[in-house]
Structure 1
Amino acid sequence: MAFLEIYYRLKIDRCQSFLRRDIKDNVRIRAFDLRICQRRTSCPRCYSFCNRLFMKGDTLSKKSVKSSISTEEQKEKKENTKQSSLLGSVDKVVDVVVIGCGPAGLALARALSERNLQVVCIDPNINKPWKNNYGVWLDRMESLQLTDCLSPIWSNTRIHFDNNRTRLLPFAYGKVDRNRMKKRLMNICKENGVVFWEDSVEDIIQEQSYYSCRTSQQEKFTCRLVVDATGHFNSFVKFDTPHDPGFQVAYGIDVEVSRHPFPIDEMLLMDFRDSHMEDSLEAKTQSSMFPTFLYAMPMSSTRVFLEETSLISKPPVTFEHLKERLLKRLHFLQIEVKNIFEEEFCLIPMGGSMPSLSQNILGFGGSAGMVHPATGYMFSRVMEMAPVLAKSIENSLLHDEPLSKNKTISIWNELWSHERILQRDFYQFGGEYLSKIPLNDMRDFFWAFFMLSDKEWKDFLDFNLIGSLQRLLFGLHLFSKTHPALRLSLMKEALQNGKLKLLKSVIF
């Protein structure tokens, strides 16, 4: 009897300590105590005493659970209250409404909220993962302090131009962890008071000098500035001239395989080899006239992300055609797919017209034409430009209540300065040229491109050819490394289609 009393007194002390322990531990220890109490003594006096003490301990355990739940509820209630502060009065005028919660929209919302601006983000798929996979150079993400959102990271990057020419680039490359990146950006936004509303915007109405965004559920958000970050196929940003872009198209699969031939420490940026297309004259002709390459990210010895990509084409190559080519490539490489985790259908408009810089609605990301016209890169650029644009928006809002059209134009000019427009024109000439050449010319072009100094080709990819002299020297160096036939086709393209825009881009 004395032994049991000591045991159960100790049990009560333990239950009291539960108040400071995790709820999962409580459940585990509670189950252990239940097993002990099933072995009760047959003595009626002892049985009664055990039950009385056990119930006391049980009451304390319940208090512990209740306390833990209460803490969680308070935290959730506090978060919901913070997020609902504007929803109770949807007619309140906020600083900025950002339409779209992709990488561009969330990056800008974060930058705006860090400047203490009131921001509402509207998107019909707020809690869904981003659709596309993103690959980025490690050094760009290091400068943004976002390397913890990359997984995996490859120490080298490989390009195969043909069966005889290959180049290993001495730059690390990473795959963006989409879920981690989106969660991180959203958490920072929520901590800074950004309100998220899950719906689609039907129309934007200008009311005096303010704007009202009306959603499909007939909610209305009034703001001083609207930013369209809905992506490439937007409804709100307008163009001065007909928009006629080229298209980068990619069909990708994240798969488990029996084995694959790709080194684990290398990311395969481009593989232009087409031996798998030599089984028929028709296939070989298609491969030559409509170049595609393999983009491969090996995650382990048995898991890899594979993507068949058309760099830029007009009209776009179909997903079905790319899928057929990828399957033929896998068969040729003897890669047996055991399980498909995800399919990706990626369509990126590249180049085309500039958005109108005199409109009241501001674009950001794909809706503002920020995609690299020759490569399709944009992810790192919107992350870098978001704080710059947020500062310009803050300055305009601080000195203008409500925001005038002239102030909106000044924000557009921050996004698309004269220097950035000239750089885009230079890149667009490259993209237009690449959309017209056959496979062998594309191989020769990229061989010459990656034979430039690492700084030169990296500056081109990273949107860093800001000065006209930089662009002129880049063009001359690239031209000098191409073979005579390619030089002739480049000159022909410059005279027929580059004309004044290309000339201005390397002079002014």
Structure 2
Amino acid sequence: MPASMSDVLVIGAGPAALAITAALGAEGLAVTVLSLGDPAAPWPNTYGIWGDEVDALGLGHLLEHRWKDTVSYFGAGDADPAAPANRPTVHGRDYGLFDKHGLQAHWLAQAEAAGVAWVRGRATAIGFDGPAGAASPGGSCAVTSADGRVLQARLVIDASGHEAAFIRRPDRGPVAGQAAYGVVGRFSDPPVGPRQFVLMDYRSDHLTPEQRLEPPSFLYAMDLGEGCFFVEETSLALAPPLPFETLKARLAQRLTHRGITITAVEHEEWCLFPMNLALPDLDQPVLAFGGSASMVHPASGYLVGSLLRRAPGLARAVAAALADPHASPAALAAAGWHALWPLELRRKQALYQFGLEKLMRFEAPQLRAFFASFFALPAEQWYGFLSNTLTLPALLAAMVRLFATAPAGVRWGLMGMQGRELGMLARLWRP
């Protein structure tokens, strides 16, 4: 291999790019990262994870905050705080918020120790030394940057996010986005209980009757300690997504209804990402990772736990394929795609997307009843569902149990077939 050629060139500088870069470096591969921004620049968003999930990875030390008091509210709300409509659903499971600077430093340190080369620039084209790199054995990829530089590698991984320019995926209709507006700051009164984390607060007593007919949103909130809190108004998923202005206004309305004002804003968070992107074409000669590979969990929106779990396995598969000096970029990418999206994971993804399509049709009362039933499942089922750690048979069993125990209105909503749902079920068998 020429001295100027890398084993792998990674495009991107966010969590997905750093996760796969660190994992590839741990395999002893020569890696170059091409990114428009500084890989050490602070990330704008926060990242949460269930305590069991991060503990299983041995990375609990990367949490900045951890809560044992984890609850949700699925009642409609009432003026009386003690009313049944205000009773919390207690999850009984730890939840954590990553120290995002610590997580970033964790991956950067691994990459630096592996001798990763960092290049600043925007990728504008990828060329191959044969038709798609597969016409003849061997070969490489040539990535051209906006300033005219050409970087060579045997394989390219686009980890630049859900709008990745070099990843093909089928068009399966409107893409649903999860939108959220949040504030880290100080308040006239605590918006949540001391040392408490609220996963979902679907109470709607602060809304007008007209607003209650609009697509619902919920509060995601936590006590950060020392008088500081994070509150975020979130829309589960919609196509098109709820506007930020609507979410910001609803958050203010929710707080005002409870007699709470924001006294100091330390950080604002604007979050929008797709929940039901189609899986990429798995026969293309460029590999993807993270949002560009449709790895966002369609039911929960979680991604970082999946990055941490799946990056090492993908890196091992890529390293094994690279051991063949005659493997073309297409063959290398094929090995990566097979490791990243094996048949069982593709079928699970189809199930999750089918479920999300159903929930997007639910009105607020149905959603509240659905989630109340969901979190009444055995903890290993709802946790495994949200973390994507259940096997396919276990996932099907959880969904069957949920259907059997849910109220009639939820069951009817789950049974009705509209629009794309039959096609989604078909992908369970032929993903």
Could you say what secondary structure the match of 1:316 adopts? coil
Quote how far apart the aligned CAs of 1:504 are: 6.6
Distance in 2 between residues matched to 1:382 and 1:189, nearest whole Å: 15
Q: Which residue of 1 aligns with 2:69?
A: 156
Q: Which residue of 1 aligns with 2:409?
A: 485
Matched letter for residue 381 of structure 2: E
Question: Does 2:56 correspond to 1:143?
Answer: yes
Question: Does 2:7 correspond to 1:95?
Answer: yes
Of 190, 193, 197, the match for 2:119:
197
Note closer, same or farther for the CA distance 1:109–1:352 as it changes in structure 2 (3 Å cut): closer
Of 278, 291, 295, the match for 1:366:
291
Q: Which residue of 1 aligns with 2:388?
A: 463
Question: Does 2:178 correspond to 1:275?
Answer: no
Does the 8 Å contact 1:138/1:147 carry over to 2? yes
CA displacement 1:407-458 (0-9 Å, x = unmatched): 4222211111111110001000111111111100000000110011001111
More moved, 440-449 vs 261-270: 261-270
Quote how far apart the aligned CAs of 1:402 are: 4.5
Could you say what secondary structure the match of 2:206 adopts? helix
More moved, 385-394 vs 198-207: 198-207
Does the 8 Å contact 2:10/2:17 carry over to 1? yes
Does the 8 Å contact 2:155/2:329 carry over to 1? no
Quote how far apart the aligned CAs of 1:503 are: 6.3
CA displacement 1:254-307 (0-9 Å, x = unmatched): 1122331412322110000111113xxxxx333333110000021125211111
Note closer, same or farther for the CA distance 1:152–1:471 as it changes in structure 2 (3 Å cut): closer
Distance in 1 between residues matched to 2:366 and 2:389, nearest whole Å: 26
CA displacement 1:45-96 (0-9 Å, x = unmatched): xxxxxxxxxxxxxxxxxxxxxxxxxxxxxxxxxxxxxxxxxxxx9x811001
Quote how far apart the aligned CAs of 1:404 are: 4.4
Q: Which residue of 2 aligns with 1:451?
A: 376
Q: Which residue of 1 aligns with 2:400?
A: 476
Quote how far apart the aligned CAs of 1:199 are: 2.0
Question: Does 2:27 correspond to 1:115?
Answer: yes
Note closer, same or farther for the CA distance 1:152–1:404 as it changes in structure 2 (3 Å cut): closer
Question: Does 2:36 correspond to 1:124?
Answer: yes
CA displacement 1:182-240 (0-9 Å, x = unmatched): 12211221111011122221221223421112222222210000001011111110113
Could you say what secondary structure the match of 1:295 adopts? strand
Matched letter for residue 384 of structure 1: R
Distance in 2 between residues matched to 1:135 and 1:407, nearest whole Å: 33
Quote how far apart the aligned CAs of 1:336 are: 2.3
Matched letter for residue 332 of structure 1: H
Q: Which residue of 2 aligns with 1:71?
A: none
Could you say what secondary structure the match of 2:167 adopts? coil
Question: Does 2:16 correspond to 1:104?
Answer: yes
Note closer, same or farther for the CA distance 1:150–1:201 as it changes in structure 2 (3 Å cut): same
Distance in 2 between residues matched to 1:406 and 1:189, nearest whole Å: 25
Which structure dedicates a bigger proportion of its chain to helix? 1
Of 288, 301, 323, the match for 2:248:
323
In structure 1, runs of 5+ residues without a counterpart are: 1-88, 279-283
Alignment of 1:47-66 (within 5 A): none
Distance in 2 between residues matched to 1:268 and 1:292, nearest whole Å: 14
Q: Which residue of 1 aligns with 2:421?
A: 498
CA displacement 1:283-332 (0-9 Å, x = unmatched): x3333331100000211252111110000111111001100101111212
Matched letter for residue 202 of structure 1: T
CA displacement 1:152-178 (0-9 Å, x = unmatched): 111131100113242111111111111
Larger of the two Rg values belongs to structure: 1
Q: Which residue of 1 aligns with 2:136?
A: none
In structure 2, runs of 5+ residues without a counterpart are: 78-84, 131-138
Alignment of 1:177-192 (within 5 A): 177-192=99-114
More moved, 196-205 vs 435-444: 196-205
- Higher RCO, 1 or 2 (CA under 8 Å, sep at least 6)? 2
Note closer, same or farther for the CA distance 1:154–1:503 as it changes in structure 2 (3 Å cut): same
Of 151, 157, 177, the match for 1:247:
177
Does the 8 Å contact 1:210/1:402 carry over to 2? no
Q: Which residue of 1 aligns with 2:224?
A: 299
Matched letter for residue 478 of structure 1: L
**TM-score, normalization by structure 1:** 0.78
Does the 8 Å contact 1:161/1:446 carry over to 2? yes
Deviant stretches of 4+, over 4 Å = none
Note closer, same or farther for the CA distance 1:506–1:293 as it changes in structure 2 (3 Å cut): farther
Could you say what secondary structure the match of 1:299 adopts? strand
Does the 8 Å contact 1:259/1:301 carry over to 2? no
Distance in 1 between residues matched to 2:261 and 2:128, nearest whole Å: 57
Distance in 2 between residues matched to 1:122 and 1:287, nearest whole Å: 46
Distance in 1 between residues matched to 2:325 and 2:414, nearest whole Å: 48
Quote how far apart the aligned CAs of 1:497 are: 4.3
Could you say what secondary structure the match of 1:121 adopts? strand
Does the 8 Å contact 1:472/1:507 carry over to 2? no
Matched letter for residue 153 of structure 2: C
Percent identity at matched positions?
32
Could you say what secondary structure the match of 1:277 adopts? coil
Of 271, 279, 290, the match for 2:215:
290
Q: Which residue of 1 aligns with 2:336?
A: 411
Matched letter for residue 73 of structure 2: H
Does the 8 Å contact 1:397/1:403 carry over to 2? no
Could you say what secondary structure the match of 1:129 adopts? coil
Could you say what secondary structure the match of 2:18 adopts? helix
Note closer, same or farther for the CA distance 1:404–1:229 as it changes in structure 2 (3 Å cut): closer
Alignment of 1:378-457 (within 5 A): 378-457=303-382
Does the 8 Å contact 2:350/2:428 carry over to 1? yes
Q: Which residue of 2 aligns with 1:53?
A: none
Q: Which residue of 1 aligns with 2:81?
A: none
Does the 8 Å contact 1:423/1:465 carry over to 2? no
Distance in 2 between residues matched to 1:464 and 1:117, nearest whole Å: 28
Distance in 2 between residues matched to 1:390 and 1:184, nearest whole Å: 17
Q: Which residue of 2 aligns with 1:22?
A: none
Of 54, 72, 92, the match for 1:170:
92
Q: Which residue of 2 aligns with 1:56?
A: none
Matched letter for residue 446 of structure 1: F
Q: How many matched pairs?
A: 412
Does the 8 Å contact 1:258/1:302 carry over to 2? no
